[in-house]
A and B are shown apart, each in its own frame.
Chain A
């Protein structure tokens, strides 16, 4: 028996539903020595902005119980250098390349980025990152600015504008730092997003008690890793019951069992993030593990698992 792992996200056909999450896979070349990159369903680039960004000052990361905080600050070479230097490297993986984009200046920059990427056949899909917690206003260093994905109206407007700029598959990445994530997911769906990615990192903070200094230079950062997995699974489950477009689930997936939780809660695909840092073969191992699980349980198609959690409500 063979199990079917392929899945469609908008126009994008993936041979399996496992991707490398944005910002955790470098530009893929860092991982070529550890695994056969061709095994991946897709790879999502580090988020790109129009202009180069040097990112936030160090220290940028610290370890927390079952997780880590980061405040990288979207360090990236900017759109032009990305297209010339990094995209060809990503394309060499032989799997669909999803390009993550963010704006430093409101929605017109999103439109410009999407418009440029729309012309490139190497770009399989676009993920709009409206949920990075680590871009700060320059005036108040320690104070996060309000994220687009914390406001359903702003989410709708940005997605709608980007939708007009590209015919490519559009994925909207949502923040967990909200009261009700389903509002944002529904806004993205209404505006024409082909899928939603959730969750981005959970805002957090950690203090070195010996020095009374925050452990990362920007004071607060994004928490990732197994510590946030129950939050992510809960949010996937909530969103699944409110929208029709596919959900790409992520947040602390370390192994096959944790990947399965997301499918059962309602995800059509998953992204591996922090696990890549600890086990650079994690994504490949999870793909094999999912296939084994399906065969062992005589499930013909992974789509049968989506939303299959036995919950009463």
Chain B
């Protein structure tokens, strides 16, 4: 089935600064909000001028009714310009784009989702956790585990939101200012050594090095893992062939066949 993609001028209805260099925008679009799936992204134009020229891809963070949210970190000129937008401003947005997470839990026997987030990687995972939580029924009870890695305690995002959804959250910080001192992958290693994790499915988003480590760990435990990749994109909708990743079937477009891939399909260079 052909998925519908929209290009719209969308109003910012709320903005929230989240400390560190993080901020969140709420955007009003019934079309995008109703068709977006966890792991999909939108392409935002941050300026009408020619610098910066290209759109900026951002994962759909949450959806509520006719609005959706994006979470963003200021990393360069484009995201800095975006951070200066205010409620009432309009943004030219294309979306939803890409192939998101496969939210169908494979079987009753495989109902332990483990979400591993590094830094900004929490952005699409909260939306995923919401969808997974919806699948809980009387007969099928499961606990979603969330492992968050962040630089310091002030870089931890979405902890409350995950807890609200009933997820079990564990935190690791690089400097040890909160939770375990180390990486999210250290938490995963510990988690996977427990018996209850033998039937887990791993979902992850974050820096490339972390994704690679998560893929390796999951592979070693024979667990299926879905990884959301990041890449420089020029268009975001499959036209430029710029954002490819090497897979067992040759190069695939991160923007179109991804951004979410099965970890064992990727050739981790």
- Interface set of A (CB-CB < 8 Å, partner B): 23-26, 30-31, 33-34, 46, 54-55, 57-63, 65-68, 70, 72, 75, 225-227, 254, 274, 276-281
Interface 9-residue window, one of B14-22, B172-180, B235-243: B235-243
Q: Are A63 and B241 in contact (CB under 8 A)?
A: no
Residues on A with C-beta less than 8 A from B55 are 277-278
Interface 9-residue window, one of B44-52, B131-139, B257-265: B44-52
Bound complex: CA of A211 vs CA of B250, how far in Å? 27
Residues on A with C-beta less than 8 A from B52 are 63
Bound complex: CA of A59 vs CA of B234, how far in Å? 11
B237 touches which of A46, A55, A280 (Cβ 8 Å): A280
Q: Are A54 and B250 in contact (CB under 8 A)?
A: yes
- Besides the known contacts A72-B242, A278-B55, 6 further A-B residue pairs in the complex with CB atoms under 8 A apart: A46-B241, A54-B250, A70-B234, A274-B53, A274-B234, A279-B45
Q: Are B245 and A58 in contact (CB under 8 A)?
A: yes
Q: Are A66 and B53 in contact (CB under 8 A)?
A: yes
Bound complex: CA of A274 vs CA of B51, how far in Å? 14
Chain B nearest Cβ from A193, distance in angstroms:
27
Bound complex: CA of A30 vs CA of B242, how far in Å? 14
Residues on A with C-beta less than 8 A from B238 are 26, 30
Bound complex: CA of A220 vs CA of B239, how far in Å? 21
Residues on B with C-beta less than 8 A from A24 are 239-240
Q: Are B241 and A278 in contact (CB under 8 A)?
A: no
Chain B nearest Cβ from A75, distance in angstroms:
5
Bound complex: CA of A225 vs CA of B54, how far in Å? 10
Q: Are B246 and A57 in contact (CB under 8 A)?
A: yes
Interface of B is mostly: loop
B231 touches which of A31, A59, A276 (Cβ 8 Å): A59
Known: A59-B231, A59-B232, A280-B7. A65 touches B242 (CB 8 A): no
- Interface set of B (CB-CB < 8 Å, partner A): 4-7, 45, 50-55, 92, 94, 231-235, 237-246, 250-251
Chain B nearest Cβ from A230, distance in angstroms:
13
Closest 9 CB pairs of A and B: A61-B242, A277-B235, A26-B239, A66-B50, A226-B50, A30-B238, A30-B239, A33-B5, A60-B242
A-B contact pairs, 22 of them (CB 8 A): A30-B237, A33-B4, A33-B5, A34-B5, A46-B241, A58-B231, A59-B231, A60-B243, A61-B240, A63-B52, A63-B53, A63-B232, A70-B234, A75-B244, A75-B251, A225-B50, A225-B53, A276-B235, A276-B239, A277-B234, A277-B240, A278-B45
Chain A nearest Cβ from B55, distance in angstroms:
6
Chain A nearest Cβ from B91, distance in angstroms:
13
A277 touches which of B4, B50, B239, B244 (Cβ 8 Å): B239
Q: Are A54 and B45 in contact (CB under 8 A)?
A: no
Residues on A with C-beta less than 8 A from B5 are 33-34
A65 touches which of B7, B51, B250 (Cβ 8 Å): B51
B241 touches which of A55, A225, A226 (Cβ 8 Å): A55
Q: Are B54 and A277 in contact (CB under 8 A)?
A: yes
Residues on A with C-beta less than 8 A from B234 are 61, 63, 68, 70, 274, 277
Residues on A with C-beta less than 8 A from B231 are 58-59
Q: Are A61 and B243 in contact (CB under 8 A)?
A: yes
Residues on B with C-beta less than 8 A from A31 are 239
Chain B nearest Cβ from A220, distance in angstroms:
15
Residues on B with C-beta less than 8 A from A278 are 45, 53-55, 235
A215 to chain B: closest residue by CB = B232
Chain A nearest Cβ from B127, distance in angstroms:
22
Bound complex: CA of A281 vs CA of B45, how far in Å? 14
B54 touches which of A34, A59, A68, A75 (Cβ 8 Å): A68
Residues on B with C-beta less than 8 A from A55 are 241, 244, 251
Bound complex: CA of A60 vs CA of B243, how far in Å? 7
Bound complex: CA of A280 vs CA of B242, how far in Å? 16
Q: Are B239 and A34 in contact (CB under 8 A)?
A: no
Q: Are A67 and B235 in contact (CB under 8 A)?
A: no
Q: Are B243 and A58 in contact (CB under 8 A)?
A: yes
Residues on A with C-beta less than 8 A from B94 are 34, 280
B235 to chain A: closest residue by CB = A277
Q: Are A72 and B235 in contact (CB under 8 A)?
A: no
B4 to chain A: closest residue by CB = A33
Bound complex: CA of A34 vs CA of B235, how far in Å? 13
Chain B nearest Cβ from A155, distance in angstroms:
27
Q: Which of A61, A65, A254 has the most B CB atoms < 10 Å from its CB?
A: A61
Chain A nearest Cβ from B259, distance in angstroms:
14
Q: Are B242 and A70 in contact (CB under 8 A)?
A: yes
A62 to chain B: closest residue by CB = B232
Known: A25-B239, A281-B7. A226 touches B244 (CB 8 A): no
Bound complex: CA of A63 vs CA of B76, how far in Å? 12
Q: Are B241 and A75 in contact (CB under 8 A)?
A: yes
Chain A nearest Cβ from B148, distance in angstroms:
26
Residues on A with C-beta less than 8 A from B245 are 58
Bound complex: CA of A59 vs CA of B233, how far in Å? 9
Bound complex: CA of A225 vs CA of B242, how far in Å? 15
Bound complex: CA of A59 vs CA of B244, how far in Å? 8
Residues on B with C-beta less than 8 A from A59 are 231-232, 242
Q: Are B242 and A254 in contact (CB under 8 A)?
A: no
Q: Are A226 and B53 in contact (CB under 8 A)?
A: yes
